[in-house]
Structure 1
Amino acid sequence: MKPSISIITIGVDDLERAFVFYRALFELPDESIGAGEDHVAFFFDDKFSFVLFPREQIAQTAGLETAVAGTPGFVLSHQAESPEAVDDILDRVLAGGGSVITPGTQSEWGYSAYFADTEGNVWELMAQPTTN
């Protein structure tokens, strides 16, 4: 099997707050956003969507008694175009109410940072080092 991820769904405690945060972060036009009574979906193209869903309902669907905050066991990663783009995204995260876990840092692997959205979900931002 060759995995192909077409939808990422994350659990949130406050759907409206998370929607406001991600709407500002993703900068998508209204026609690329769909909302239902219990979810919000951001459509990036025909092959990928990012969905916000109440954390408690995700737990129930998975057969768990209680919901767990954040993203235990995995981190969402975004490949940015440059270190400057990483820093620009971090500025938008802070403006939207998220928090910076690790500011942009240069290493042999490139430039990276970590942030948490308004719901505690952890993201990695990275820009690969340029080759000469």
Structure 2
Amino acid sequence: MKPSISIITIGVDDLERAFVFYRALFDIAEEQIGAGEDHVAFFFDDGFSFVLFPREQIAQTAGKDIAVAGTPGFVLSHQASSAAEVDEILRKVLAGGGAIVTEGTQSEWGYSAYFEDSEGNIWELMAQPPAN
């Protein structure tokens, strides 16, 4: 895997407060901001995204019961070229001493998986769905 960090997701305690802060900090057009019930995403011109996500949900993503000390406050995301590449990277994770948090799963957003490195840091692997 040649790491290509395409998304950084950080955990926040107050989504609205964090949105107000980062909206004021980033010089970004309204059409480059996407929001849902549980997240806000800032889409930058170079293909990089910065996402705000509730800390409790990051804990769940990381396989933790609750957001306690040691729960990651962020997730690094690598954009793979295909679902097969996601699965190949997961094999390397296991061979290198990491752990799979979530096996590869297909969703409306594409094919994704989560893994934990040898130090407990969480990565998301994702492959966009093929264009129709």
Normalised by the size of structure 1, how large is the TM-score?
Answer: 0.50
Percent identity over the alignment?
Answer: 88
Does 1:27 pair with 2:20? Answer: no
Partner of 2:123: none
Partner of 1:15: 15
Describe how 1:1-132 pairs up with structure 2 within 5 A: 1-45=1-45, 47-68=47-68
Q: Structure 2: 5+ residue runs without aligned partners?
A: 75-132
Normalised by the size of structure 2, how large is the TM-score?
Answer: 0.50
Q: Report deviation, 1:47.
A: 1.6
Stretches of 4+ moved more than 4 A in 1? 68-74
- For 1:70 and 1:6, the matched residues in 2 are separated by 24
Q: Is this contact kept in 1: 2:42–2:50, CA < 8 A?
A: yes
- For 2:48 and 2:73, the matched residues in 1 are separated by 22
CA shift digits 1:41-90 (9 cap, x unpaired): 0000252100000000110111112214799698xxxxxxxxxxxxxxxx
Give the total of aligned pairs: 74
RMSD: 2.5
SS at match of 1:50: strand
